[in-house]
């Protein structure tokens, strides 16, 4: 059995993915190879030759990726902050754009002793678990209404707790419920949310259209059906000086800040771009008493 150069197998994978319209063919080819070999992507150069069954297995993965199965479904993992998360069918795959929201949230609770954090529409638990990892002293609460997504969040929470992170408290609930987290009203230092926000009918990539749960992506005619409830919930939960960060569609650069400003108890409303310069998330702080 003649061993084959891994470099050539990756080049062929890159060509296949590029022809299929995958946006980052080289990166995806290398990540699939690294996943298959059980090594870091940066260590691929240390594996010059592989056996033919490995090449065949890589080709099989590449064919599925070329059919626009999400990369994260093929590897079974996604990342946010310093945590790895298990993802797959039935749960929204965290996006790199959310890293900036996570960083802002961390800055809000910097210097706050034992902060209380709420993650609305938690999905896989990504934001809640990334914040719990960064702040082991925090009390982190996360809510999700979809049972399948909640099962992924529970699995990830158990894995992170086993790895030594602080536990989070998961709830089955709906952000549209005005009674949600009544026991935390006025006690929360940070509210974060990556809600469904894409306006209905917006064209999306095949990975999103065919694999992300519809209800985790689309947010009604204007994309703001859930966001409106998130703003109301955050205004109710935050303590004076506490902060809220809400991710949104790039068409919402004016509308989400306007929803935040409409709440008299919220101030210091700001819009934040993603790395491509597009409007991506909005933030506000709860007013301090006079």
Which segments are annotated as binding site for S-adenosyl-L-methionine?
144, 194
What pairs with residue 266 in β-bridges? 286
d(C-alpha 126, C-alpha 87), whole Å: 10
Query: How high is the mean pLDDT of the chain?
Result: 96
Lowest mean pLDDT among 66-70, 116-120, 273-277: 273-277
Whether 274 has a pLDDT exceeding 70, the answer reads yes
Which segments are annotated as binding site for substrate?
194-197
Note whether 114 and 282 are within 8 A (CB): no
Whether 121 has a pLDDT exceeding 70, the answer reads yes
The mean pLDDT of 100-127, rounded to a whole number, is 97
d(C-alpha 108, C-alpha 241), whole Å: 9
pLDDT in tens, 6-19: 999 999 999 999 99
* Residue 91 DSSP one-character state: S
Percent of the chain whose predicted confidence (pLDDT) is above 90: 96
pLDDT at 289: 72
Exposed, middle or buried by CB within 10 Å (0-12, 13-18, 19+), for 20?
A: middle
Whether 273 has a pLDDT exceeding 80, the answer reads yes
The more confidently predicted of residues 288 and 258 is: 258
d(C-alpha 130, C-alpha 125), whole Å: 8
pLDDT at 25: 97
Whether 256 has a pLDDT exceeding 90, the answer reads yes
pLDDT at 290: 61
Banded model confidence at residue 288, pLDDT cuts 50, 70, 90: confident
Tell the CATH topology of 89-286: Rossmann fold (3.40.50)
């Amino acid at each position: 059995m003649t061993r084959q150069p891994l470099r050539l197998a990756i080049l062929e994978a890159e060509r296949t993915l590029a022809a299929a319209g995958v946006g980052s063919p080289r990166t995806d080819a290398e990540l699939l190879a690294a996943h298959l070999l059980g090594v870091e992507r940066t260590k691929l150069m240390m594996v010059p030759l592989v056996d033919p069954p490995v090449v065949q297995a890589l080709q099989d993965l590449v064919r599925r990726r070329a059919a626009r199965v999400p990369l994260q479904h093929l590897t079974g993992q996604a990342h946010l902050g310093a945590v790895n998360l298990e993802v797959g069918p039935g749960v929204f795959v965290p996006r790199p754009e959310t890293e900036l929201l996570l960083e802002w949230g961390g800055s809000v609770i910097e210097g706050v002793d034992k902060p209380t954090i709420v993650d609305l529409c938690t999905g896989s638990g990504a934001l809640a678990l990334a914040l719990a990892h960064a702040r082991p002293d925090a009390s982190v609460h996360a809510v999700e209404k979809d049972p399948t997504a909640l099962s992924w969040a529970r699995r990830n929470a158990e894995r992170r707790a086993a790895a030594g992170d602080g536990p989070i408290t998961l709830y089955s609930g709906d952000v549209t419920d005005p009674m949600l987290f009544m026991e935390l009203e006025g006690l929360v230092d940070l509210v974060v949310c990556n809600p469904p926000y894409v306006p209905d009918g917006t064209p999306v990539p095949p990975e999103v259209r065919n694999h992300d749960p519809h209800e985790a992506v689309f947010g009604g005619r204007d994309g703001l059906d859930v966001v409106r409830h998130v703003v109301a919930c955050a205004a109710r939960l935050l303590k004076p000086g506490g902060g809220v960060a809400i991710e949104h569609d790039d068409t919402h650069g004016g509308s989400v800040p306007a929803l935040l400003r409409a709440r008299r108890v919220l101030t210091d409303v700001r819009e934040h771009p993603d790395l491509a310069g597009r409007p991506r998330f909005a933030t506000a702080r709860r007013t301090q008493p006079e």
